[in-house]
Structure 1
Amino acid sequence: MSSVIIIGGGGHAAELDEYIRYANRVGVSKIQLTGVIDDNPKAYDQYHFDCPFLGNISEHEVQNDVQYIVGIANLKYRAPITQRFIDAGATFLTFVHPSAYVAESAIIGTGSVIAPNVNLGPMTTIGAFNMINARCSIGHDTKIGNFNFLSPNVCFSGGTQVGDGNLFGINSATIPGIKVGNRNKIMAGMILEKNVGDDETVFYRYKEKIIAVLKSTKG
């Protein structure tokens, strides 16, 4: 049985706690949740975790006999805190929810989380420390870098290429073959029809309204 500590104690961490408990309950995994660490104890108090609060992230000494899982959604802190733990010798759990469909040819990197009802198509590559949230669909031959956060219902069409540190809002999507660079924010509901560079925020309002007018059948 693996022992795991969740880094972070807010809502995202609470979801991971639920995912792990469910996987244990259905017999897919045997993971012992050792505890939660967070610099804000009040965050932990808002949720019903299945493990105790172990103290601050900043004061935590990395343990060699446990694995860690990243429960921090904010990309400003997610990568720096994870890197500090890696430098201190931490090892990280890669977690796939039992309800996810993962093609045999798909590759999932260290520390990534594949949430409920995700679809990973053939020849997809998911890098390290990504959060692929519930009901995301990742099309064939898509390549995703490291430290990306995909909100629920994100859909990548086949051949999409994504760099590092990107945030994709709920219900955002790509058409086939789109390339997205690094550290971008793709806001909720956006459909990417053009490539995106680095450090961009993609948001626009629809200004066109299409009205279909039925032709009269009378002679």
Structure 2
Amino acid sequence: MKKRVIIVGAGGLARMIFSWLPAFLEGEEWDWEFAGFLDDNLKNFENGSYDKPILSTIKDYMPQELDVLIMGIANPTTKLSISKELEQRGASFMTLIHPKAMIGRNVNIGRGCVVSPGAVLTCDIEMSHFVFVNLYTTIGHDAKIGEGCTLNAHSDVTGYTELGKGVFLGSHSVVTPGMKVRDFAKIGAGSVVVREVKSETTVFGIPAKRL
């Protein structure tokens, strides 16, 4: 029997994942079909731009035996809360790695992650669960990426860096070697981190400073 692939969320990230889904799942040993999306806004696709339905609200969804979920939500706090809730109901999340991403040696990737085309994960990297790595993002050697992080397009996480739980990196941001970005911190687009960033703070600029 075919597995039902379902994307959690129906916003921009979810639609981007849907666009690449055949490439993501190419070569899988099991048969699959894309069933649709989960989103609390059931009217999201009323303009008819997508031929796959929003199956249910997230709060009302109950996993079926053959369901496999993909996390399509970018906000770290939201996706961690929703993934925990769904897993408690018995949901199973898969990790997607696009064939045009480059993955080096000794790279450990947790469940529920998405690695986009053009991303480069060099070597000796520990990546926890529900991490999203966007287009052309690079993660250097010996980096540690915490659960629920979102690394937006063209961001650069260099060697020996550490991102805590739920960190959000804006596009084209840089975390310089050996720096630590603590839990749920936000790095603005184009910013360069040259010193430790404390938990739940937002920094911006070159060098990045607290807002």
Q: TM-score, normalised by structure 1?
A: 0.87
Look up the match of 1:143: 144
Letter in 1 for 2:180: K
Structure 1: tracts of 5 or more residues without a match: 207-219
SS in 1 for 2:24: helix
Deviations 1:31-64 (A, max 9, x none): 4212111111232346744633212111111223
Is 1:64–2:100 an aligned residue pair?
Answer: no
Letter in 1 for 2:176: I
State the percentage of identical aligned residues.
Answer: 31
Cα distance in 1 for residues equivalent to 2:148 and 2:49: 27
Tell me if the contact between 2:77 and 2:166 (Cα under 8 Å) persists in the aligned partners. no
Letter in 2 for 1:126: M
Change (3 A) 1:123 1:11: same
Tell me if the contact between 2:179 and 2:193 (Cα under 8 Å) persists in the aligned partners. yes
Larger radius of gyration, structure 1 or 2? 1
Cα distance in 2 for residues equivalent to 1:175 and 1:193: 6
Look up the match of 1:93: 94
Tell me if the contact between 2:173 and 2:190 (Cα under 8 Å) persists in the aligned partners. yes
Letter in 2 for 1:178: M
Greater shift in the superposed pair: 3-12 or 27-36: 27-36
Tell me if the contact between 1:75 and 1:165 (Cα under 8 Å) persists in the aligned partners. yes
Cα distance in 2 for residues equivalent to 1:133 and 1:59: 29
Letter in 2 for 1:28: G
Cα distance in 2 for residues equivalent to 1:141 and 1:171: 21
Letter in 2 for 1:114: V
Greater shift in the superposed pair: 174-183 or 197-206: 197-206
Look up the match of 1:196: 197
Total equivalences in the alignment: 204
Cα distance in 2 for residues equivalent to 1:68 and 1:16: 12
Letter in 2 for 1:183: F
Is 1:41–2:42 an aligned residue pair?
Answer: yes
Cα distance in 1 for residues equivalent to 2:167 and 2:51: 30
Q: TM-score, normalised by structure 2?
A: 0.90
Look up the match of 1:115: 116
Cα distance in 2 for residues equivalent to 1:121 and 1:199: 28
SS in 2 for 1:3: strand
Cα distance in 2 for residues equivalent to 1:52 and 1:71: 15
Letter in 2 for 1:148: C
1:122 shift after superposition: 0.9
